[in-house]
A and B are shown apart, each in its own frame.
Chain A
Amino acid sequence: MTTLQPAQRDVRSGRLAPDQYAENFTDLHPRLDHHEALVEADRCYFCYDAPCMNACPTGIDIPLFIRQIAVDNPTGAAKTILKANILGGMCARVCPTETLCEEVCVRETAEGKPVKIGQLQRYATDHLMETASDHPFKRAATTGKRVAVVGAGPAGLSCAHRLAMLGHDVAILDSRAKGGGLNEYGIAAYKAVDGFAQAELDFILAIGGIEVRNGVTLGSDVTLNDLARDYDAVFLGMGLPGVNDLGLDGADADGIIDAVDYIARLRQTDDLASLPVGRRVVVIGGGMTAIDVATQVKLLGAEEVTICYRRGQEAMNASEYEQELAQTAGVTIRHWLRPHAIVRGDGGEVAGMQFEYTAQPNGKLVGTGETLFLPADQIFKAIGQTFDAGPLAGADVKLEAGRISTDDTRRTSMAGVWAGGDCIAGGEDLTVVSVEDGKIAAMDIHQALTA
């Protein structure tokens, strides 16, 4: 008679053959070539009052830019895109187009195959960024006004660029070593290959009039009151630095990992083979971060990756397309399971997780009492990020539902201070929405400073 021994905890780096990493982390969608772009562009019907355009948070004139591609004017197409969304290159890569422009494309209605708007947008923006000798937009005559932007993520960069274009001088403060925010530290690696986030950052800054100060943290290095005093306006694009807690005993055990931190590490490493990867991995959450970490850990060589989400499939924040992406990579997605207890081995390290089955009999999520044990060498938390109001201490900025409260023009309750992106209440945690926030705020700041 043999005794079943508990599986040995197995966390290792370098699970794959060296060249397998490059293959696994190659561009998710290789760029359309010239002919593919012309053919795809020809599928666009150039709709009147196009639904895609109305579905785009930044209001890009999609039919126009696609027509410009169709007639072999990719530079003009890129300008049409960038005029509405200066981060059009990154949005082309990371936008959940399947729930935005492409979802409402009349070709989707007609035949279930929307025009590949995202890929066409990338075709045009890549073309311009790689071929244009000058930045496509010129700065207006200087206004002499100075604006501080906190955070070099999508919202801050969008706001800064628009302000610079309108003739204001901008200083961006960012606590990290590199600018780009989530574009640099958060997006799945295969969606922004070849250092695109930094290339786009350089492209945006090339308009001039924007100074980026890295390693400057609001609250410790400078206060909001200082900025409000020293600058004519302040824009806060601080993102969501905090993460939700599991609320279970042993959450500090070795092997319980914050997904956001892990992704940032993955994005910044020069050697993917150096990342520690468990043989059996559990990811908790149902959003994009859960999908991104699960897929990438699988691509790093984990044998078994399971996403556990406490509600049904339809409630997942990650789009169906993203779910399929993870599943195609070999990730298992399980629903109606919520964390019940962290199971630790003799050394205190993670050995697995006890889940409780859930149900939603009357619209309210309840545990059924039945449990399930999943062995795991690593457990990734991807259960949402939180705003940290600490850096605003001493300033009169009102919060709403834990994030900064703003009006339609992204003004906060504090005079001279605007905010946008994930850090504001009602934010949708989408890059493209952050870009629009920055743009709206910039236009209102401009109005305020030039009135």
Chain B
Amino acid sequence: MADLSTEFLGIKSPNPFWLASAPPTDKAYNVDRAFEAGWGGVVWKTLGEAGPPVVNVNGPRYGAIWGPDRRLLGLNNIELITDRDLEVNLREIADVKKRWPDRAMIASIMVPCEEQAWKAILPRVEDTGADGIELNFGCPHGMSERGMGSAVGQVPEYIQMVAEWCKAHSRLPVIVKLTPNITDIRYPARAAKRGGADAVSLINTISSITSVNLDTFSPEPSIDGKGSHGGYCGPAVKPIALNMVAEIARDGETRGLPISGIGGITTWRDAAEFIALGCGTVQVCTAAMTYGFKIVEEMADGLSEWMDEKGYRTIDDFKGMAVPNVTDWQYLNLNYVTKAHIDQDLCIKCGRCHIACEDTSHQAITSMVDGVRHFEVIDEECVGCNLCVNVCPVEDCITMEQMVAGTDPRTNKPIDPGYANWTQHPNNPMAAKEAAE
């Protein structure tokens, strides 16, 4: 039986599944329920300064996109940080941590970019017994208009500065939560590291408008006929998050910096992928908001079964295993030749592979052979692009098969078993030239 327990920045939790700082972690009531359900830790909904709390809109806070059966694919929100009094939150954090000493309790914080503001709140948080803090430099809506959230996360110098304050005024481990609303995630991550942050967590939500109401011409969610961009999350953002995590995991400056992965994690498999890209824990929000806290049972069980099957005893056994396989395009092996292959026994003859290839790609799949509806790859035309695999509705019907020997009928070039990439390619004007004799 696999051991799912994790130790992240010295913070122990019985499994790597934490609830992200978000509506599900705004109150003791919710967090108690989460821990009862089996979550390994929570990042408490972001705390603001002492004094009158922020206010939220009183209309819809969420927008969404759905699959045809109303499966929630992407969610967006315009909710701000906690709108409850700081004192209430701090008291509840302390109470819950006492009740659940084995779970990770992280406090998310967002106060103005002034040292005094951070200096004021940090000891209060420390007093709760929380295990660590997460600096919310990510929220793209509302708070960013007031110079907080992603407004900080988009300026690496600010990230470094605030991280330094936090390290100076608190003994707690510091996690910097990054916004994806930037051009290159490595810069804010490097700044966090330079500021002394112990870890980064990512991604926060992506600036978004989920839809436009074509009757009222208001963006959704609509507040009295107007809308404001929200933060996008849920399954739709996972690929973006995976890439950003990988960029940080393999960057020369940030390699080895602990990462808590966030972004559309819905199943054990999603979690395993984030961990394989170097994450020490994962944070979940939309999946819980869609299905309730019980989903952690599936996540923990699925991950455990998979680890048993693969022979991984602990999370560390496979953590980061995919990182070395993420590389730049220029280093991909150009001698690796594949051709699509259609299993005629599985083919249901929908013709989607044909029309995708015929209309939009390389005219490499037949539709008719000897007057009969028949879909077959023409190796002479197939560039191995994988589009047919992706559009085929039948699992494993079309597979990409590597050519290991012989001649590629498309290029008429022999298959080279060696490795060669763009940096060496004759068509590349920048290619490293062999030294002249």
The answer to whether A110 touches B67, judged by C-beta atoms less than 8 angstroms apart, is no
The CA of A389 and the CA of B55, in the complex, are separated in Å by 85
The CA of A38 and the CA of B69, in the complex, are separated in Å by 7
The answer to whether B68 touches A47, judged by C-beta atoms less than 8 angstroms apart, is no
Query: CB within 8 A of B348: which of A41, A50, A106?
Result: A106
Instruction: Report the interface size for chain B: residues with CB under 8 A from the other chain.
Output: 15
Q: Is B229 an interface residue (CB 8 A)?
A: no
The answer to whether A46 touches B348, judged by C-beta atoms less than 8 angstroms apart, is no
The answer to whether A42 touches B69, judged by C-beta atoms less than 8 angstroms apart, is yes
The answer to whether A39 touches B68, judged by C-beta atoms less than 8 angstroms apart, is yes
Q: Is B120 an interface residue (CB 8 A)?
A: no
Q: Within residues 266 to 301 of chain A, which ones have a CB less than 8 A from any CB in chain B?
A: none
The CA of A41 and the CA of B68, in the complex, are separated in Å by 9
The CA of A42 and the CA of B73, in the complex, are separated in Å by 15
The answer to whether A51 touches B349, judged by C-beta atoms less than 8 angstroms apart, is yes
Query: CB within 8 A of B350: which of A35, A38, A42, A47?
Result: A47
Given A45-B393, A48-B355, A48-B367, does the pair A109, B349 have CB atoms closer than 8 Å?
Answer: yes
- Interface mask (B347-391 → A, CB under 8 Å = 1, otherwise 0): 011111011000000000001000001000000000000000000
Identify the 3 closest CB pairs spanning chains A and B, nearest first: A48-B351, A42-B68, A48-B355
Question: Taking beta carbons and an 8 Å cutoff, which residues of A are in contact with B?
Answer: 35, 38-39, 41-42, 45-51, 70, 106-107, 109-110
- Interface mask (B394-405 → A, CB under 8 Å = 1, otherwise 0): 100000000000
The CA of A267 and the CA of B350, in the complex, are separated in Å by 41
The answer to whether A49 touches B367, judged by C-beta atoms less than 8 angstroms apart, is yes
Q: Within residues 68 to 95 of chain B, which ones have a CB less than 8 A from any CB in chain A?
A: 68-70
Nearest A-chain residue to B353, judged by Cβ: A48
Query: CB within 8 A of A109: which of B67, B68, B348, B367?
Result: B348
Nearest A-chain residue to B66, judged by Cβ: A38
| Chain B residues, Cβ within 8 Å of A106 | 348-350
Give min CB distance, A32 to chain B, whole Å. Answer: 13
Nearest B-chain residue to A49, judged by Cβ: B351
In the complex, besides A48-B367, A50-B351, A106-B349, 19 extra interface pairs with C-beta distance below 8 angstroms are A38-B68, A39-B69, A42-B68, A42-B69, A47-B350, A47-B351, A48-B350, A48-B351, A48-B354, A49-B351, A49-B367, A51-B349, A51-B373, A70-B68, A106-B350, A107-B348, A109-B349, A110-B348, A110-B394
Give min CB distance, B82 to chain A, whole Å. Answer: 36
Q: Identify 13 residue pairs between A and B in the complex whose beta-carbon atoms are under 8 Å apart, listed by A's number.
A: A35-B70, A38-B68, A39-B69, A42-B67, A42-B68, A47-B349, A48-B352, A48-B355, A49-B373, A51-B373, A70-B68, A106-B348, A109-B349
The answer to whether A45 touches B350, judged by C-beta atoms less than 8 angstroms apart, is yes
Nearest A-chain residue to B346, judged by Cβ: A110
The CA of A39 and the CA of B70, in the complex, are separated in Å by 9
Query: CB within 8 A of A45: which of B68, B70, B352, B367?
Result: B352
| Chain B residues, Cβ within 8 Å of A47 | 349-352
Give min CB distance, B389 to chain A, whole Å. Answer: 15
| Chain A residues, Cβ within 8 Å of B348 | 106-107, 109-110
The CA of A110 and the CA of B397, in the complex, are separated in Å by 11
| Chain B residues, Cβ within 8 Å of A42 | 67-69
The CA of A51 and the CA of B374, in the complex, are separated in Å by 12
Give min CB distance, A5 to chain B, whole Å. Answer: 61
| Chain A residues, Cβ within 8 Å of B367 | 48-49
| Chain B residues, Cβ within 8 Å of A49 | 351, 367, 373
